[in-house]
Structure 1
Amino acid sequence: MTTSSPHAPLRPLHAAEARWSSGFWGSVQDRTFTSTVPGIWQSLSDGDVSPGLRNFRIAAGLDAGTHDGPPFMDGDFYKWLEAAIAQLEVAPDAALAAQIEELAQLIASVQREDGYLHTPVLIQSRQAEQAVALADRFHFETYNLGHLITMGVRHFEVTGSTTLLDVARRAASFLEDLAVNKPVELARSAICPSHYMAVIELYRATDDPQYLDLAEAFLRVRDDFDGGDDNQDRLPVREQKVAAGHAVRANYLYAGLADLIAENGDRELLEVLEGIWNDVVDTKLYITGGCGALYDGASPDASPWQQDISRVHQAYGRAFQLPNTTAHNESCANIGMILWSERMLALTGDARYADVIEQIAYNSLLSSISLDGSEYFYTNPLRQVRDLPFPLRRPGDTAIHPVPSPPPSDERLRERYLSCFCCPPNIARTLARFHERAASLSSDGLFVHQYGGSSLDLAGGVLSLREDSDYPWSEQIAFTVTAATEGGVPVHLRIPGWSSGATLTVNGRAEPAPTPGTYARLDRTWAEGDVIVLTLPMPVRVLRGHRLAEEITNQVAVQRGPVVYALESTDLPDGVVLEQAAVRRGASFETGRREIAGSPVTVLTTQLAVIPDADEDALYTDLDDAELLTVPVTLIPYFAWGNRGPSEMSVWLPVVW
């Protein structure tokens, strides 16, 4: 992330300046460090479960065997290491530090002298088999190298060790050689381009301009390559107007380009990214923050000729094409949208980007992991139904790494290990580093972006704030000044775009009413003991969709604060099935507290109408004019669904009068 980038007004605060010390995100962080990070390591290090560690040991000559797993497995290993390094930064631990250093030495030992590191090829070479680097764009070499560089930079920043920083430098040198001598091969292999973000991180850590030049070269060779919508290389970047193709690849690309803008100030490119980001948020983003609606999309605008329309997996579809049961919303795509949005926030200071980060974080990000932090979703649908007459595509169900057919759709639950393991370590590193999304510093003071239990301590004791709140469940957020040097600096608090009627007080005295979708600026001489109270009223909102979003026509969703709610069949009365449940216009909702799988959440109770059941065997059935019954039900936070065994679930429900 930005530290001293000349064209990014905001820089994030790292662990020494920002942490989740209490509240909602404090609990999530504790769970991440006690369950998620060690649990993923148990999988990666157990050869009977995952080849993650074993592949590196075979490549180093420590074990015998052949490469196993998908070609991007190296990147999954690096993402887990990044999460472990973040844990080491927040909660230093000698045993974890020693484990990380041991793995760093292992990784360094298998890297080729030219900087190339891809265990499938290195294992083949060790066994005297013919192996060619970059032979297939779907071998994901540059994706793996990007995560390697990012992890290496974080290792250096946290520990001061240059072991993995040297590995990162050599990997960047390999990419630089490609950019100069094999630009076509580089552009063709730029699948899911994590290396765009990575080399900028390396530039910021080393202040070596060759890495900034390399990032600019990545854009150049991409624009010269004749590709397709699947990888966002059909059109030069500056000609792109809408998000198309594979959603993870798109979000990673645009996040990397935003990093480049922070360093070179390319205003034209910033306008392009703003336009594409608006296209996603205005027409293609689920209410939960999910991205990439389609299991199997197409590239309908790439050619007027039907035979030239190619399939695109995990795709952004057309505007308002937002199915619910078949929604893909890969966890990595949702994380990619956080990465892109936080960079746009740093570039512009516009609160709408922080709003979207919040929308994703409290809904689709948290839905991707179980409430105990040990099991994961690859996809994040908005509706799950029983007896689906066709299997939904699942992780690994591709030509790259086939797995057996998935279980019946009504038994879809989170899993501890997925054959396509890209999402779990990505979830882990995102949650382990979520304190970096709490706040930023600019020349105009402190900007607080996310609420949920932070402690903020600016360097030199300039200003320290302690947040006390039960956000997102409760309306009141209090910040106490615990230190201030020479009066501190102005404080800017985000007023969410979803809010209405927010109020602000300082030491009990009212401030001017803040405007939703902006930052409220508080400029005064701060003193220890000052208390800022932000109150964000949280009435239950019943929301409808755009007229062109066909699958949610005449349906509504329920939201309170930033949290989207869902109806799970577990909470339906006996004899009522999911498709019978409907919201009455004008229905009232009561808030209450409940534990789901040991986690306390705020639930909503209401009365739902019961639509007469239809003939399940008939495609069409006469409308029954019987009087609608009413039953009491409980709605739960969307992120909490699927933690109580197999169930049906829906975010959107029919509305009746």
Structure 2
Amino acid sequence: MKRIIFSFSLLSAVLVATGQHKDYPIQAVPFTSVKLTDNFWMPRIKMNHTVTIPASFERCESTGRVKNFVMAANKSGKFCTVYPFDDTDIYKTIEGASYSLSLFPDAKLDKYLDSLITIVGKAQEPDGYLYTARTIDPVNVGPWLGKERWEKERELSHELYNAGHLYEAAAAHYIATGKKNLLDIALKNADLVCSVFGPGKRHVAPGHEIVEMGLVKLYRITGKPEYLATAKDFVEYRGHYNGYDSTSKDQWKNGKYWQDDVPVAQQREAVGHAVRAGYLYSGVADIAALTGDKALLTAIDSIWANVVSKKMYVQGGTGAIGDGERYGENYELPNETAYNETCAAISNIFWNERMFQLHGDAKYIDVLEKILYNGFISGIGLDGKSFFYTNAMQIKNTFDHRDMESARSGWFVCSCCPTNDLRLLPSIPGYVYAQKDDQLYVNLFINGNATMKIMGKDVAVEQQNNYPWSGDLKFIVNPKKPAAFAMLVRIPGWAKGVAIPSDLYAFKNNMRTQVQVPITINGQPVEYEMQNGYAVIKRTWKKDDVVEVKLPMDVERVVANNKVKDDINKVALQRGPIIYCAEWADNNGKATNIIIPDAAAFTASFKADMLNGIEILQAQVPVVEVKNNQTIQTEQKTLTAIPYYAWANRGKGEMMIWFPEKVTAVDLLAGEPHIPEPDK
């Protein structure tokens, strides 16, 4: 643990010494300073350490991803996986394992990481170039690569994408362990990249963004201005390629697939590949914060508003269209063919955290929370080793062409999502708190203990709650000495009757917009002001001061803007931050025949022995039944709804999020649908 403390103090010293004054006005409390103890996230993070990370390393070895590095070191053999970006699965797993080491000291894992980093280092060429698909055999490189380095970077090669994930992994490993073995490899590569690209040198808009974020992380560690300058150049060169046809509607021909159709400072709408977009917008936020570039800030503010008001699914997913894994047009959010790549959810968590750090508005954390509890963890099976690449919004009967998407997979040929999952999970403690001067922001509600300095004074905060199932929150504030500061507790939008910070979704029959959430200090009710979605509590804090907040946990019916054609006259269900769905296993083998009228009254109950412990919703509702393949009628039955994130853990079958409020049409099927048995 001393190494962790050293690395953070060193980082702070570097930032001061190099004169890095511009930055995010709000800084996250580091993940190493927050220790979680809750029953929702900690079991997942622990399983990530004991199951997901070991399984990922095993799969990296068995699929040849590690072998590629060995062959690159020997400069002999044949690249033995499918994609040149397969290198990043090792980098991302190292990143997740590094975060995890800071939570669960593990000598065996630490030793394995060092051995793997040694293999990676040997694959690096003398000038710093690190890209196994070329180094193994530079003559026979395949269709994704050009004859020369970087030649196809804009289109297919992913050379800078690989570098970006290397930098992200190196920064995490250094911060978590204090070791520089991977960092030295990354810095050598970054120095090469900076010598090749930039003003007066080679210009390119990276085909798959993330190198921008990675370079910023290296800049924060080293203070080397070239890293920030090169990241900024990568952003600013977008939209200047004259090889695109701006009149074409083809996303690959007009540059939109790569967010390269117009300069970033002029972009106002989220377009193209949703994962690349989220990484780009995150990198742009970093650069705007560090350089004060107001044009870039205006751009991402506008793009964020476009996503949240026109291009986000109710469970936080983005990238509706499978053709190009991309954003669709405004309000183009089909349920039957929804794509919703897990990586897109992760990139948007990164982006929304940065938007909060720029602006200090709770609406960004509201969106982050929606993604975190729904569209992100839906991509990870409850066993910790099965995954969704895409996250469906509905699965109809087993004749449905998307039936295969109701089953999770242990690995994919393109396995970016599983390795992305495992790098985000152990970093969640770093999203709980943030600081600005004498203000402490409480963003996420997760049991645990945190330590920090506020205006130079040591302060500890403990959370006690049963979130997300209960809205009763308790915070025990323990300054080492009495300390005056403001505690800003996020009051989620959903607790104030706001489904999302736009008119894209709303709560039907909402009655809570003017109701203030009750807060007490040491048992006494307190008046407070709301500021950008936060309850601001200013006082001189003393040992064992107790703040209690009671968030309402009603079952809400969510309705969509009428411009979302698929959701007209339908409702979704939400309780707290959790979006619910109906799954075949709880509803007589079907889920697509359920109607939820206004009169339906829901009850919530916790089932400890179901799907690792969940709160279910139940109501008596009409269900459409087909009798003898000829007669259609409705019957009153019990609807059981489960959290969306938990679906598809009991076998394949139907799933629905949006339910009709009345019968308007009936799908006619040839024969009875097959009703599978739940997996045991």
TM-score (norm: length of structure 2):
0.85
Alignment map for 1:520-539 (pairs within 5 Å): 520-539=535-554
Q: Does 2:574 match 1:563? A: no
Cα distance in 2 for partners of 1:183, 1:237 equals 20
Does 1:655 find its partner at 2:661?
yes
Q: Deviations for 1:287-326, whole angstroms, at most 9, x for unmatched residues? A: 1000100112xxxxxxxxxxxxxxxx01100111111121
* 1:294-333 aligned within 5 A: 294-296=321-323, 313-333=324-344
Offset of 1:482 from its aligned partner? 3.7
Alignment map for 1:270-419 (pairs within 5 Å): 270-296=297-323, 313-388=324-399, 390=401, 409=403, 412-419=406-413
Q: Please give the per-residue CA displacement for 1:551-575, whole angstroms capped at 9, x wherever unaligned.
A: 111111000010000000111136x
Which residue pairs with 1:430 in the alignment?
Answer: 424
AA partner of residue 603 (structure 1): I
CA offset at residue 595 of structure 1?
Answer: 4.3
| AA aligned opposite 1:237 | V
Q: How far off is 1:159 after superposition?
A: 2.2
Answer with 278-287 or 591-600: which moved more. 591-600
Question: What amino acid is aligned across from residue 153 of structure 1 in structure 2?
Answer: A
Rounded to whole Å, the distance in 2 between the matches of 1:40 and 1:638 is 25
**1:157 is aligned to 2:169:** no
The 3-state SS of whatever aligns with 1:120 is helix
Q: Does 1:169 align with 2:165?
A: no
Say if 1:18 and 1:435, in contact at 8 Å, map to a contact too: yes
Distance across 1 between alignment mates of 2:138 and 2:70: 14
| Corresponding residue number in structure 1 for 2:259 | 232
Residue in structure 1 matching 2:472, options 472, 476, 490: 476
SS of aligned partner of 2:461: strand
Please give the per-residue CA displacement for 1:268-295, whole angstroms capped at 9, x wherever unaligned: 2111111100100011101100010011
Partner of 1:200 in structure 2?
216
Cα distance in 2 for residues equivalent to 1:470 and 1:353:
23
User: Which residue of the partner structure matches residue 596 of structure 2?
Assistant: 583
**Is the alpha carbon distance of 1:530 and 1:184 closer, same or farther for their aligned partners in structure 2, counting shifts above 3 Å?**
same
Tell me the amino acid that sits aligned with residue 138 of structure 1: L
SS at match of 2:32: coil
Q: 2:6 aligned with 1:6, yes or no?
A: no
Stretch of structure 1 that moved more, 28-37 or 453-462: 453-462
Shift of 1:63: 8.4
Conservation of the 8 A alpha-carbon contact between 2:598 and 2:661? yes
Question: Does the 8 Å CA contact 2:129/2:189 hold for their aligned counterparts?
Answer: yes
Relative to structure 1, the CA distance from residue 547 to residue 411 in structure 2 (aligned partners, 3 Å threshold; closer, same or farther) is closer
Deviation of 1:212 after TM superposition, in Å, equals: 1.6
Deviations 1:490-511 (A, max 9, x none): 2111110111342111101112
State the number of aligned residues.
Answer: 610
2:238 aligned with 1:242:
no
Instruction: Indicate how the Cα distance of structure 1 residues 354 and 185 shifts in structure 2: closer, same or farther if over 3 A, else same.
Output: same
Task: Indicate the larger mover: 170-179 or 4-13.
Answer: 4-13
3-state SS, counterpart of residue 295 of structure 1: coil
Shift of residue 636, structure 1, vs aligned partner: 0.2
**Alignment partners' CA distance in 1, 2:621 and 2:183:** 58
CA distance in structure 2 between the aligned counterparts of 1:360 and 1:116, rounded to whole angstroms? 36
Counterpart pick for 1:26 among 33, 38, 42: 42
In the TM superposition, what is the alpha-carbon distance from 1:352 to its structure 2 partner? 0.5
Q: Which residue of 2 aligns with 1:143?
A: 161
Cα distance 1:615–1:139, how it changes in 2: closer, same or farther (>3 A)?
Answer: farther
Q: Which residue of 2 aligns with 1:462?
A: 458
CA contact (8 A) 1:232 1:244 kept: yes
Partner of 2:280: 253
Letter in 1 for 2:582: L
Task: Measure the CA separation in 2 of the matches of 1:281 and 1:233.
Answer: 21
* Matches for 1:257-272 after TM superposition, within 5 Å: 257-272=284-299
Partner of 1:601: 614
- Local SS of the residue matching 1:634: strand
Cα 1:560–1:67 shift into 2, 3 Å: same
Q: Deviations over 1:189-242 (max 9, x none)?
A: x12211010111111001111212112221232242245000000111111111
Instruction: Verify the 8 A CA contact 1:243 1:250 in the aligned structure 2.
Output: yes
Structure 2 gaps, min length 5: 1-7, 16-20, 245-254, 497-514, 664-680
- Once the 2 structures are TM-superposed, how far is the Cα of residue 15 of structure 1 from its aligned partner? 3.1
- The 5-angstrom pairing of residues 437-456 of structure 1 reads 437-456=431-450
State the match for 1:92 in structure 2. Answer: 105
Summarize deviations over 1:423-451 as a string: whole Å, max 9, x none. Answer: 00101111111111111111132111111
Does the 8 Å contact 2:398/2:653 carry over to 1? no
Contact kept? 2:134, 2:141, Cα under 8 Å: no
The more displaced of 468-477 and 379-388 is 379-388
| Structural mapping, 1:106-121, within 5 Å | 106-121=119-134
Task: Render the CA deviation track for 1:344-397: whole Å, top value 9, x for unaligned.
Answer: 11111111110111000000111000112111100001101224464x5xxxxx
Q: Contact (CA 8 Å) 2:133, 2:141: kept in 1 or not?
A: no
C-alpha separation in 1, matches of 2:441 and 2:531 = 15
CA contact (8 A) 1:232 1:250 kept: yes
Q: Distance in 2 between matches of 1:388 and 1:52?
A: 36
Aligned to 2:639: 633
CA deviations on 1:95-126 (whole Å, 9 max, x unpaired) are 11111111112111111222211111011139
Distance between the aligned counterparts of 1:213 and 1:252, measured in 2? 18
Give a deviation string over 1:554-605, Cα, whole Å, max 9, x none: 111000010000000111136xx43321101131111112246650010001
1:485-496 aligned within 5 A:
485-487=481-483, 489-496=485-492
Map 1:37-48 → 2, pairs under 5 A: 37-45=53-61, 47=62
Q: 1:487 to 1:515 in 2, by over 3 A?
A: closer
* Consecutive unaligned residues in structure 1, runs of 5 or more: 297-312, 393-408
Q: Residues 119, 282 of structure 1: CA spacing in aligned structure 2 closer, same or farther, 3 A cutoff?
A: same
Q: Determine the C-alpha separation between the residues in 2 that align with 1:476 and 1:578.
A: 32
Equivalent-residue separation in structure 1 for 2:24 and 2:352 (angstroms): 13
Kindly provide the amino acid, as one letter, of the partner of residue 605 in structure 2.
G
Q: CA deviation at 1:262?
A: 1.3
Equivalent AA in structure 2 for residue 495 of structure 1: I
* Aligned partners of 2:239 and 2:260 also within 8 Å: yes
| In structure 2, C-alpha distance between the alignment counterparts of 1:223 and 1:179, rounded to whole Å | 16
Contact 2:238 2:259 in 1 (8 A): no
Contact 1:284/1:321 (CA < 8 Å) preserved in 2?
A: yes
1:404 aligns to what?
none
Structure 1 residue 538: Cα displacement: 0.8
Contact 1:351 1:494 in 2 (8 A): yes
